[in-house]
Amino acid sequence: MSSFPGLIDEIPGISVDRFNGDNFYSAVFFLSHCHTDHMQGLDLQFFQRIHNKHQYLYCTPISKAILINIHKLNDNLVDTIRTIDGCSPIVINYNEGSKILYLTVTCIPAGHCPGSIGFLFENEQNRILYTGDFRIDIDDLSKIKPLHCNVHDKIIPKKFDTIYLDTTFFNSNFRYLPSRQEALREICKIVDSWISQNEKNIVVLECSGNYGPEHLFIELSKALGIRIHVKDKVFKSYTIIPELASCISNNPLESKIHACMDKNFRNGLKCRPDIQSQFILTIVPSAWRWKDKDLSKCISEWDKNLRRFYVCYSCHSSHNELEAFIKYFCPDKIYPCVCPNYINFEEFKSQLNQVLNASTVSACSNYDLDLSRYKSPIEDDSNISNFSDDD
């Protein structure tokens, strides 16, 4: 759950992923993705206010489509949303007091959910990276071109004044988390086995929030050739996203896989009251249940009495992945965007910066840093779309 207040200390006049409180006074706004903890204050009144002030919100085309659907924006208010996509920088100018300021903005793929990005902010004084919620494979860090530069014909990581970092799982209890591909293989095998046993069998995916498990829907649908029945409130938004549109349905009779109910509803399947409970298997993809468990041995577990199957599935980076990210880029400072409720913010920020300070000068200048020791002990490169029962 994001605790970031929205303001970038080094760059006055902009707000990111928070739209209330002191953010009222910002001149430019940015949204990394459409999850509610990043959208506080982002309501119809917000769009009316920035329309009246000739201001703009920047986000990806997918996030824009979701916002239009959620808030039923008219054409005037739609025009307050400007899209940024790909990895090409744009230059934004805005008024801050009596000054006109210029800011170069590049969006960075975040690997969190469809439409999710981070932001690279650069002006004459500062270079700031705001990750948003993210999960990027350690091996892919060197492939993100906007985060690197060419020095004497050598490609090296850019130096950042501050990285505003998704620290959801910067916690030693989540040192390793399986990749989403590993988790998906577990889910695919169980779903395929269950629906093959009896023509009446149905699978319920118990997912948190309205938006978030889209990657799971896409890959599960591709692997099994089954559309996922989703909530009515998200169906229209999903149909605007090409990679999702062919994977989802709003017809409960069309699918044996349902993600159409709110979490923790335990009284059957609302959309199919004809299906008795003994034919329903519930699968729970989540990470928090796996706190401090040894994931090198198992990433899933059964509660067969309740016909519930739990799989460790995370769209956020693990502790070790975050540590590798910090040591790879070695910024001057780190600002945690998610602070756990059991620790003081300044103490938590100090822990992060201790990781940074522990990186020696030689380590930070060695851009062939061996990141393999930060990986999950469960490594498997097979393609989820080609899984078999023998996997």
What share of the chain has pLDDT > 90, as a percent? 63
14-173+317-374: CATH superfamily: Ribonuclease Z/Hydroxyacylglutathione hydrolase-like (3.60.15.10)
pLDDT tops 70 at residue 379: no
* 14-173+317-374 and 180-313 agree in CATH topology: no
In the prediction, which pLDDT does 261 show? 85
Give the chain's largest Cα–Cα span: 70
Q: Are 252 and 231 within 8 A, CB to CB?
A: no
Give pLDDT, residue 75: 93
End-to-end CA distance of the chain: 34
Give the pLDDT of residue 371: 53
Q: How confident is the model at residue 362 (pLDDT cuts 50, 70, 90)?
A: very low
Would you give the DSSP letter of residue 43? S
- Specify which of 31-35, 137-141, 291-295 reaches the highest per-range mean pLDDT: 31-35
Q: How far apart are CA 272 and CA 251, in angstroms?
A: 11
181/178 Cα distance (integer angstroms): 8
Please tell me the least confidently modeled range out of 34-38, 211-215, 325-329, 387-391.
387-391
Neighbour order of strands in the sheet with 257-259: 248-249, 228-230, 257-259, 202-205, 280-286, 308-312, 300-303
Is residue 334 a contact partner of residue 217, using CB atoms and an 8 Å limit? no
- In sequence order, the 6+-apart residues with CB closer than 8 A to the CB of 181 are 219, 380, 382, 384
pLDDT at 306: 83
Burial class of 373 by CB neighbour count within 10 A (0 to 12, 13 to 18, 19+): exposed
Token representation of residue 53: 């002030």
The pLDDT tens digits for 237-262 are 889 888 899 999 999 999 999 999 87
CB 51 within 8 Å of CB 76: yes
Is residue 272 helix, strand or coil? Answer: coil
**Whole-angstrom Cα distance, residue 318 to residue 274?**
41
User: If one looks up domain 180-313 in CATH, what number appears?
Assistant: 3.40.50.12650
Q: Which of 51-60, 181-190, 268-277, 312-321 has the lowest mean pLDDT?
A: 268-277
- Residue 370 has a pLDDT of 54
What 3-state class would DSSP assign to 351?
helix
For position 384, what pLDDT does the model report?
33
Q: State yes or no: pLDDT of 310 exceeds 60.
A: yes
Break the chain into its structural domains and give their ranges: 14-173+317-374, 180-313
Structure tokens at 263: 């979490």
User: What number is the average pLDDT over the span 138-152?
Assistant: 91
Q: How confident is the model at residue 322 (pLDDT cuts 50, 70, 90)?
A: very high
Cα separation, 180 vs 176, in Å, equals 12
- Range of weakest confidence among 125-129, 140-144, 183-187, 351-355: 351-355
Contact 116, 99 (CB under 8 A): no
Tokens 């040192």 belong to 175
